[in-house]
Amino acid sequence: MMPSSGHRILLAEDDPVLRAMTADLLELNGYQVTTASGGARAIESFGQACPDLVLADIFMAEGDGYSLLKHIRAHQTASDVPVIFLSGKSGLTDIRAGLRIGVDDYIPKPFDPDELLRSISLRISRRERKQRLDGLLGRSLHHDFRTPLTSMLGFAELLRATALPGTPIPAAAVTQAAEMMQSSAEQLLELIEKVGVVREIASSSPQLAETYRTVTTSDWLAGARRNCAAVAQKMNRSPDLVLLLEEVPVPVPLTHWLLTLAQLLEAAFEGSAKGIPVRVTGRREGQAYHISVDCSDGVPRPAGAAAVHPGPSVLPVPGPGLDLVRRVAALASGDLKILPTAGGTVFYLTLPEAPRK
């Protein structure tokens, strides 16, 4: 095993003897090690340690590995740090629980030092490749791809690891793994289709601009309702969705228009707590069509209120997300405004009404 080039590892282990032995092993192989006697102390030191990888026992007296993992995955700037669990008591239930919240690997105790070092090297290398790709794809978009892929690979590995010769895999475990892999595959397919539309919009080709100048989309309400309901269901927010849309012709291709509405709704759900109504209102005013997506406190705001005009450098972009909405608005000679309020956020999209055909 080649020595590391100074990568930082945060080691959370409540057994002082094992903690010292593991730290010595890592330091001998060139790693910079910060130790913690439990998950709670590891959470306290995570921000200061800035680790390239976290190695943690699952069951510790002061804060378990799951709490530490959840803290890392929710971190604003370091949610992609690889996490490897060490445990001598990991059953299928424990492994599944970790996979659901994004653990990268399991190493059973007592561990083989070479196996541990190989896993650490692999996870750190993968993260570095991801970071290089981030410069090309954008961090959030790459994360959107990585999340379902990690889930699929994790559950595939779980099935492989449990498929021992002569030992049948429990039907419940196979069913659960298959359901999770199918859900992840559907997420990937949806994202690929979304990125295809984004690439088309981002091309700024003369043909696309001409399409926006000549297209009239009239019969879109039924499709929009289905899409919005699907977004609400996916995000477990169906009771919070309120649709009050007037069907007005818009100068946007149908696939672009339906995805635009879905992205506005998804951004609203992401920016509000469960139980807060998200009101999607569409109305004609003069020769323009106004879409308001309100995920604040439910108090109506006038479309002309002071708002933030988001540009590429300040607009929050969850994957293709709101950037797609901004590009569609520009192609259609419309306008996207985001109004932060004390109670939340209101998104306003204004488009010129397309001529009826």
Lowest mean pLDDT among 67-76, 162-171, 175-184, 209-218: 162-171
Residue 263 class from Cβ within 10 Å (0-12 exposed, 13-18 middle, 19+ buried)?
Answer: buried
- CA 212 to CA 159: how far, in whole Å? 49
Half-sphere exposure (Cβ direction) of 272: Cα atoms closer than 13 Å: 32
Residue type, 338: I
Q: Specify the residue for token string 């209102």.
A: 281
Q: How far apart are the first and last CA of the chain?
A: 70
- CA 268 to CA 265: how far, in whole Å? 5
In the prediction, which pLDDT does 18 show?
93
* Cβ proximity of 198 and 324 under 8 Å: yes
Task: Count the helix, strand and coil residues of the chain and give each as a percent rounded to the nearest 5.
Answer: 50, 20, 35
Q: Which domains does the chain have, with CATH numbers?
A: 8-137 (3.40.50.2300), 206-352 (3.30.565.10)
How crowded is residue 292: how many other Cβ atoms within 10 Å of its Cβ? Answer: 22
Q: Convert the pLDDT of each residue in 272-295 to its tens digit.
A: 888 889 999 999 998 999 999 998
* Cβ proximity of 23 and 11 under 8 Å: yes
In the prediction, which pLDDT does 120 show?
93
Average pLDDT of the chain, as a whole number: 80
In the prediction, which pLDDT does 266 show?
87
Share of the chain above pLDDT 70, in %: 77
* Cβ proximity of 310 and 336 under 8 Å: yes
In the prediction, which pLDDT does 51 show?
94
Rounded to 5 degrees, φ, ψ at 33 are -115, 130
Of 216, 202, 200, nearest to 254 by C-alpha is: 216
Read off the pLDDT of each residue in 105-128 and give the average, rounded to a whole number. 88
In the prediction, which pLDDT does 140 show?
52
- CA 292 to CA 306: how far, in whole Å? 14
Torsion of CA 8, 318, 129, 121, to 10 degrees: 40
In the prediction, which pLDDT does 108 show?
83
In the prediction, which pLDDT does 135 show?
46
Share of the chain above pLDDT 90, in %: 32
Read off the pLDDT of each residue in 37-57 and give the average, rounded to a whole number. 91
Q: Which residues contact residue 168 at a Cβ distance below 8 angstroms, ignoring those fewer than 6 apart?
A: none
Residue 314 class from Cβ within 10 Å (0-12 exposed, 13-18 middle, 19+ buried)?
Answer: exposed
In the prediction, which pLDDT does 316 show?
39
Q: Convert the pLDDT of each residue in 296-324 to its tens digit.
A: 765 544 444 444 433 333 333 344 467 77
| pLDDT at residue 225 tops 90 | yes
Q: Convert the pLDDT of each residue in 252-277 to its tens digit.
A: 999 899 989 998 998 888 888 888 89
| pLDDT at residue 330 tops 80 | yes
Q: Give the pTM.
A: 0.47
Q: How many residues does the chain have?
A: 357
In the prediction, which pLDDT does 137 show?
44
Peptide bond into 355 cis (omega under 30): no
Q: Convert the pLDDT of each residue in 74-114 to its tens digit.
A: 887 788 899 998 877 655 666 666 666 678 888 888 889 99
* Cβ proximity of 84 and 119 under 8 Å: yes
* Cβ proximity of 7 and 31 under 8 Å: yes
Of 231, 229, 224, nearest to 257 by C-alpha is: 224
DSSP letter for 180, please: H
- CA 150 to CA 100: how far, in whole Å? 10
In the prediction, which pLDDT does 325 show?
86
- CA 34 to CA 247: how far, in whole Å? 59
